């Protein structure tokens, strides 16, 4: 028995010695361990692209190992509470992210090369969600513009030009309807499609949303019939026009149709126009890859100079103060903003690159929005500027289902005032 134990000890000692020798040889070979950083990425449609990009970065240098995290915004929010946030993120820039900005938990990126290349005219879109002292807490990475998607073949077959005024839009709808063509395909089963499309395009085409929400914030608990701005007062006309389109020029089964139904129906030529963002193009292309599509701003006034497109900062980059690997994260940030990298990403997603030196040739399907984006004739959709605690999507769905507009907008005013009181 003692002989067996002695042999085991000898073998164990031999194994330990070999392990130590291997470690020493590895150290002599000059292969230090890489610094690991956690990179959160929130756009599910582009995970494949970003996975490949991270692998290329990791292979391009020996200092840092980037680990891609796609667990989602709820997990990220919880990680801040636990004191273990990601080292760097490319995430949707919205009311949820604004909490990180306003609490000062994101580090200042103003000294980076990436920050020096961002278009100055995009700053109001970032500031709409708040700011922290004189800090550049986040940098836009991908700007998504959306407007009316239209079937070029149907427009040409019916000799219709892209409308630039409200009167021209109604005339086009009447002409299409007379020819037996459904002007707009609507998908009201999914409330978000009403909020981001019908509601946002209608309001944004007539109201200066940034100015409106700035004034609304000042009014706070006083928002109502007598305040300088209110949903009931300022949104009344746009909503009335939205409902005119919704009651006269959509598919009869709109109430039971969802987003997926709309993409398929539009690919089959069942309507001339579709109020969706560029994310719908790839879905439509699955069944109609050669369909000729274009985009144009929904005209809500009689002045073509009022035409604007809805934009949102689809992705913004930020680095938390609590990261223990800020320098490594900054190096990766600069890599992400290299022209060939950021432009390739936005081209793949039909997004607009927010850098001043961008030379991306736009996809033909979004050419109709380029002149407005380049001239800063843009607006943020009001639905994304309303806090999550107010059920704006439910309200917009109720409107197209027949709810009283005045009463619904009055309720929205009351919700805002109540939320301002709690804060």
Q: pLDDT tens for residues 133-183?
A: 889 999 999 999 999 999 999 999 999 999 999 999 999 999 999 999 999
Please provide the CATH number assigned to the domain covering 145-311+379-422.
3.40.190.10
**CA–CA dist 86, 41 (Å, integer):** 10
Q: What is the pLDDT of residue 340?
A: 94
How far apart are alpha carbons 389 and 142 in whole angstroms? 26
Which CATH architecture group holds 35-144+312-369? 3-Layer(aba) Sandwich (3.40)
Q: Is the dihedral of CA 367, 369, 372, 373 positive or negative?
A: negative
For 217, the token pair is 């914030």
With a CB cutoff of 8 Å and minimum separation 6, the contacts of 273 are 148, 149, 150, 151, 183, 184, 185
Token pair in block for residue 163: 């409308």
pLDDT at res. 361: 72
CA distance 355 to 357: 6
Note the pLDDT of residue 423: 63
Domain borders along the chain are 35-144+312-369, 145-311+379-422
Report the pLDDT value the prediction gives residue 283, as an integer from 0 to 100: 94
Q: CA 147, CA 367: separation in Å to the nearest integer?
A: 11
Which residues in the chain come in under a pLDDT of 70? 1-32, 73-74, 78, 81, 95, 422-423
**What does the alpha-carbon distance between residue 271 and residue 262 come to, in Å, rounded to a whole number?**
10
Beta strand segments in 13-71, E: 35-41, 64-69
Residue 74, pLDDT score: 66
Whole-angstrom distance, CA of residue 311 vs CA of residue 277: 10
pTM of the predicted model, to two decimals? 0.84
Query: What pLDDT, on a 0 to 100 scale, did the predictor assign at position 306?
Result: 96
> Which residue in this structure is represented by tokens 């390739």?
344
Do 35-144+312-369 and 145-311+379-422 have matching folds?
yes
pLDDT of residue 132: 86
Spatial CB neighbours of 232, under 8 Å, sequence gap ≥ 6: 224, 225, 406, 409, 410, 412, 413
């Amino acid at each position: 028995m003692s002989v067996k134990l002695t042999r085991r000890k000898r073998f164990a000692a031999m194994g330990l010695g070999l392990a130590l020798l291997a470690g020493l040889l590895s150290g002599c070979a000059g292969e230090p361990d890489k610094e690991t950083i956690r990179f959160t990425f929130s756009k599910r449609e582009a995970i494949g692209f970003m996975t490949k990009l991270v692998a290329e970065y990791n292979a391009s240098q020996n200092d840092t190992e980037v680990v891609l995290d796609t667990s989602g915004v709820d997990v990220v929010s919880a990680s801040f509470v636990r004191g273990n946030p990601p080292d760097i993120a490319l995430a949707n820039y919205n009311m949820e992210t604004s909490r990180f900005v306003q609490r000062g938990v994101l580090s200042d990126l103003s000294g980076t090369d990436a920050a020096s290349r961002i278009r100055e005219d995009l700053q109001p879109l970032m500031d709409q969600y708040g700011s922290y002292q004189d800090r550049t807490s986040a940098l836009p990475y991908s700007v998504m513009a959306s407007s009316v998607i239209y079937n070029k073949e149907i427009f040409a077959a019916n000799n219709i030009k892209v409308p630039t005024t409200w009167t021209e839009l109604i005339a086009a709808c009447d002409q299409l309807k007379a020819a037996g063509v459904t002007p707009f395909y609507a998908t009201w089963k999914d409330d978000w499609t009403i909020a981001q499309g019908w509601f946002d395009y209608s309001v944004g085409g007539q109201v200066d949303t940034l100015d409106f929400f700035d004034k609304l914030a000042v009014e706070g608990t006083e928002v109502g019939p007598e305040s300088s701005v209110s949903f009931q007062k300022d949104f009344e006309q746009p909503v009335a026009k939205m409902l005119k389109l919704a009651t006269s020029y959509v598919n009869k089964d709109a109430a039971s149709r969802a987003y997926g139904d709309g993409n398929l129906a539009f690919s089959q030529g069942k309507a001339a126009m579709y109020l969706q963002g560029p994310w719908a193009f790839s879905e439509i292309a699955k069944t109609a890859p050669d369909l000729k599509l274009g985009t144009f701003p929904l005209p809500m006034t009689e002045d073509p100079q009022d035409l604007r497109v809805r934009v949102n900062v689809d992705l913004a980059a930020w680095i938390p103060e609590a990261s223990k690997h800020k320098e490594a994260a900054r190096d990766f940030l600069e890599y992400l903003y290299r022209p060939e990298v950021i432009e390739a990403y936005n081209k793949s997603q039909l997004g607009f690159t927010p850098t001043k030196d961008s030379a991306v040739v736009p996809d033909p399907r979004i050419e109709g929005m380029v002149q407005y984006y380049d001239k800063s004739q843009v607006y943020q959709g009001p639905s994304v500027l309303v806090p999550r605690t107010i059920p704006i999507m439910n309200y917009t769905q109720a409107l197209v289902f027949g709810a009283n507009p005045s009463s619904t907008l009055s309720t929205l005013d009351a919700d805002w005032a109540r939320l301002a009181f709690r804060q």
